[in-house]
Structure 1
Amino acid sequence: MKSSSKKDLQPGIKTGFFNFSQIEKYFVNAGQENVFQRISDRTFQDLDLEDVFRFIDRTVSSVGQQYLYHHIRTIPLGTSRTEKLGSFISILTKNPTLRATASASISKLNQKDAYYITSLFQEKYMPRPKWFWLIQCLSGLSVAAVLLSFFLPQILIFLIVLLPVNLGIHYWNKNHLYRYASSLPQLVLLNKTARNLLKTAEFEGGDPDFQKSVRVLDRLGITMSVFQIEAKLQSEVGQFIEYFLELIKALFLVEPVLLFATLKMLDNRRQDISNVFHFVAGLDVALSTMNLRESLPHYCEPTFVTDNKLTINEVYHPLIFNGVANNIELNSRSALLTGSNMSGKTTFIRTIGINAILGQTIRTCFAKEFVMPVMQVHSSIRISDDLLGEKSYYFEEVMTVRQLLEESRTGACNLFLLDELFKGTNSVERIAVGKSVLSYLTQGGNLVLVSTHDRELADYLTDTFDLYHFTEVIDGNDIHFDYKIKPGKLTTTNAIRILELNNYPAEVVNEALRLSAQMKEASDNK
């Protein structure tokens, strides 16, 4: 178990706009091979992983940012991805100069256009039109006419007739060109970055497939560089020169001929583009992870075990500055948490879920110790009515929990995170259904963390659940929360006292106290 401690918290959090429609592009189009679990949208929202991503993202490039997002949305199958991440971190840790050089080199890919590189190996290319032969013929005729005009000036009349036709084709192609005008120049820069990194001793003798891919894309670089040069010219030359260049390109149909020729070559080199992308983006993820770790008060790399137990020490929520750290140990048993509102139950459940995911994806836990099995993470925390779909809160929760029940029987080890099961129905049925669902979920070696206000539920789950609670402390007219998890069942309640402290009318408080005493007496006499 590797751990680190920092006295001063220096988050280094990115500011500015996060364009998630572009950031998630690689993840959305990525296949399911070598993926143990794809984190669902519900769990992503329940655990506030979008905000967590904003916090942990210390990447310096757009490609690295996309790959980091993919990391936290997919738990890998096997250890090859995390071992590669660990290898990069080890190399960069031993050579601070290389770390600075790599960061500076990769940061050149921080433009928004770099988000489109993934389309070159993940998406279908625009097909050549069936009449592409006509484009080639017209381009050849234009070149021949210009050459012949030096000897036969009358040919210029033919060019004047030909130019409107070529202009039409040229601007027809513009819509297609815009689709690749961003990605192709950035691909050239991506490969150049990879080639420069290969010159260092640490990477020179690395993966031969990756090195081969860099050489292959180098051979295509001359063709692709035309797009890079054009983009540079458009930003530097005057308007008159730009119009002149546009006329020349239109006359010779340079853009459609060059674009479709380039796409044909790249279509056969998708794997090479993917190899180079994963190397550069993976290195950026390693740099980001190192920067994240160095900003934390403490962190650890997880220890993985084969049995279904959790041993967690000094774990904290990454988004709560100077938050309270907690410990918990579960040995083939789940955990039921009781406590009042605002005492920390749901935050603790989210904390465990976030750390379980990040521990398996970027090998970084916000804790001093985190021992866990390899497991999938599922949740039912943030449920709301679907008014447009005419679904009640209870029906929404029924459908969500049914999905969890199905996941529990897949054969994988699962961690289920639930908050206030079935609070959309009456207390008797809520406790009955809750007990049945929780008992079912724990079968097959699954672990469950669930919060509840129903203390009676604990009496039915003692065989499979350890009991914990959070509580507040009332000191005179003040309410304090220590946010510390404590073993055992909650034995005291302060809900009515909190109403009194918040200046509720005395008749409301007294009536509540009277009814509460009656119901407790009736329960004790049963």
Structure 2
Amino acid sequence: MTDNSVHYYNHLLEITQQALVRIRKKIYSIGTLRLCWVILTLTVLYFLWGYNTGIIIGVIIVGIACFLGMMRIHDRFFARKSFLEAKISICKKELQLKRYDFEGIDTGKEYIDPTHDFSNDLDIFGKKSLFAYLNRSASIIGQQKLVEWITHPLTDPDKIRNRQQAVEELSLLTELRIDFLANGMTSRESKTDAQIISELSNDSPIYVSKWLHIILSFIPWIFGILILMWIFGVGTGNYILFLFLTCFCYATILSGRVSRTQNKLNEGLKSLNTYAGLIEQLEKSEFSSSLLQNIRTDLHTEGIPVSSRIKQLGKYLRNLDQRYNAIGFAILNGFFLWDFKQLAAIEKWIRNNGKFLPGWIETIARFDALCSLATFRFNHPEYIFPVLNDNDNPVMKATELGHPLIEPERCVCNPVEMLQRPSFLVITGANMAGKSTYLRTIGINHLLACIGAPVCAKEMQLSPCKLFTSLRTTDSLSDQESYFFAELKRLKQIIDRLESGEKLFIILDEILKGTNSTDKQKGSLALVQKLVKLNAAGVIATHDLLLGSLAEKWPDTIENFRFEADINDNELSFSYKLQPGVAQNMNACFLMEKMGIIPKE
């Protein structure tokens, strides 16, 4: 397949930059027009001053109305400007990552966990990590969902196939994905929003008593009756004034409590507006894959679009904001007990919709995470979706398997083949010959396959199962734990989980690095034999050539492969190509002699 993504992003960047220039001109024009309108209105008032009061009031009303209308247009232009700037940022980021330039890219370092089954070993988080390369989240909840998928990959082939279909379909809807991401980038979401929304769904901070509900229902009618009585001379205006002052004083006395409630509502419910634009985009989209159809269906609660419900809530919250205007506070609360009317409406909204809030958040997060995987697919049309097996035949088989974080011109691809369980590949070879990279290549493509993403291979078959690695065990000063003991604890985890019946795909690099060679050989041989008996499968890299003898004992279960270092004309070179058998050449002494660390023999 031809990779047209670079051309697409360059073209989109160009036309978006042109649109941004036009919108900036409109913003300047509407700003100038507003200023001119103010000057014109003041000039007209100056010349009409002293004329009929009704005319002056009319001019003022028209002037203010037109000015507010231009303000709304101005705000829409500014929102459009922010949206276009976000799209430009997206295109530049995509082009940057196509060059494998990770400068300024979110590393996800807060998710690094040395105790995780595989993430620390495979560079899933951190600088130049898989997360940095995959993440295109429009929201914090989407990013958290992507992290959840990466750290807890699927093992059910049917669920993975459903996700593959959704990723494939969504990869063709690039405009939808970019607009979705741009809308998310222009929001003001915080990391605590989802938690606050969840708390509000279970415990509303509002309580409007039953008697106050009754008063709110009747007070407009009471004022209407009193005003009619005053007009027809049946009553005096004192009744109206008394009721007005009573309502105003009540609202003033309780304004502190209302303010505290409003602040809590603004922290949580206003953040729903962050997701409203994202939800509306999904509601307007049509999908064919079952997973995306389910996501869209989940956003029609009881037949009413979620975006409509959120817009109604936004209206109540904006109405409540009118209390910040002193004149508005006095008039609206004096006649309508406005603050409590809006709180009652919000309370009713939470009562009717609160139970759905966590589900809405989850739905947005899932779609957002799918967008990240779909963008990865769009950017790599040459990658393939692996064939998934429901049994262990093969456990893993691939041709031209490469590491997705290595530039294509530098990436050397190799095969992998494990046709049954138990099954192990023992990889030997010289330093820097490619063993560790090969292990990480297998691990990261296994992970991509299990999260429903395409893999860097020409062909691939996989039986999904849990992945466990031990490549870079570290010591812990805080726990007074040695490097060697930390590795033993990790190996013990593997054995315990296999004995409990878990099916694992295991990747180990240099077993028992922290002990002497004789002890290491004995322990390594015993460990591999134990893993075979526990029906495990995986790959082991080692400098210990004695492990290659295990293939003689289990020829159908263990295979030897090697990465060789070639020394020609006193120069060291590597092909990084996997070859059958046990390694023949080692390079440690050669390099130490060449660097002058030890004398030449």
* CA-CA distance at 1:165 after TM superposition: 3.3
* Worse-matched range after superposition: 6-15 or 69-78: 6-15
Deviations 1:50-88 (A, max 9, x none): 211221334566665444433333333534443333444
Which structure has more RCO (C-alpha within 8 Å, separation ≥ 6)?
1
Q: Secondary structure at the match of 1:336?
A: strand
* CA-CA distance at 1:492 after TM superposition: 2.3
Pick aligned residue for 1:109 from 176, 179, 184: 184
Counterpart position of 1:493: 586
Pick aligned residue for 1:311 from 397, 407, 411: 397
Counterpart position of 2:118: 43
* CA-CA distance at 1:338 after TM superposition: 1.7
* CA-CA distance at 1:183 after TM superposition: 3.3
* CA-CA distance at 1:413 after TM superposition: 3.2
Q: Does 1:127 align with 2:203?
A: yes
Tell me the distance in 2 between the aligned counterparts of 1:467 and 1:208: 47
Pick aligned residue for 1:415 from 505, 509, 519: 505
Q: Secondary structure at the match of 2:153?
A: strand
1:254-333 equivalences under 5 Å are: 256-270=343-357, 273=360, 276-277=363-364, 280-281=367-368, 284-285=371-372, 287-294=374-381, 298-305=382-389, 306=391, 307-321=393-407, 322-332=410-420, 333=423
TM-score calculated relative to the size of structure 2? 0.67
Tell me the distance in 1 between the aligned counterparts of 2:214 and 2:561: 77
Tell me the distance in 1 between the aligned counterparts of 2:501 and 2:279: 42
Q: CA RMSD in A?
A: 4.3
Aligned-partner residue type, residue 133 of structure 2: F
1:162-311 equivalences under 5 Å are: 162-198=250-286, 207=293, 210-211=296-297, 213-216=299-302, 218=304, 224-229=310-315, 252-253=339-340, 256-270=343-357, 273=360, 276-277=363-364, 280-281=367-368, 284-285=371-372, 287-294=374-381, 298-305=382-389, 306=391, 307-311=393-397
Structure-2 change in CA distance of 1:357 and 1:287 (3 Å): closer
Counterpart position of 2:488: 398
Unpaired segments ≥5 residues, structure 1: 25-38, 511-526
Deviations 1:245-278 (A, max 9, x none): 6886896246654444333222332576268537
Tell me the distance in 2 between the aligned counterparts of 1:58 and 1:209: 19
Structure-2 change in CA distance of 1:350 and 1:377 (3 Å): same
Deviations 1:383-442 (A, max 9, x none): 111101111111111111111112223434321011111111222222222222222222
Is the contact between residue 190 and residue 280 of structure 1 (CA under 8 Å) also seen in structure 2?
no
* Worse-matched range after superposition: 71-80 or 58-67: 58-67
Aligned-partner residue type, residue 355 of structure 2: N
* Worse-matched range after superposition: 323-332 or 351-360: 323-332
Deviations 1:79-137 (A, max 9, x none): 444333344455567xx6x65356535642343528777558866735246x9245983
Structure-2 change in CA distance of 1:88 and 1:120 (3 Å): farther
Q: Secondary structure at the match of 1:125?
A: helix
Unpaired segments ≥5 residues, structure 2: 8-93, 228-236
Tell me the distance in 2 between the aligned counterparts of 1:426 and 1:164: 80
Quick one: percent identity of the two aligned structures?
Answer: 18
Counterpart position of 1:470: 563
Work out the number of aligned pairs and report it. Answer: 480
Query: Which structure has the greater CA radius of gyration?
Result: 2
Counterpart position of 2:49: none
Q: Does 1:71 align with 2:149?
A: yes
Is the contact between residue 414 and residue 447 of structure 1 (CA under 8 Å) also seen in structure 2?
yes
Structure-2 change in CA distance of 1:497 and 1:211 (3 Å): closer
Counterpart position of 2:163: 85
TM-score calculated relative to the size of structure 1? 0.76
Counterpart position of 2:458: 368
Counterpart position of 2:448: 358
Is the contact between residue 214 and residue 276 of structure 1 (CA under 8 Å) also seen in structure 2?
no
Tell me the distance in 1 between the aligned counterparts of 2:447 and 2:295: 30
Is the contact between residue 114 and residue 186 of structure 1 (CA under 8 Å) also seen in structure 2?
no
Counterpart position of 1:484: 577
Is the contact between residue 564 and residue 584 of structure 2 (CA under 8 Å) also seen in structure 1?
no
Tell me the distance in 2 between the aligned counterparts of 1:211 and 1:260: 26
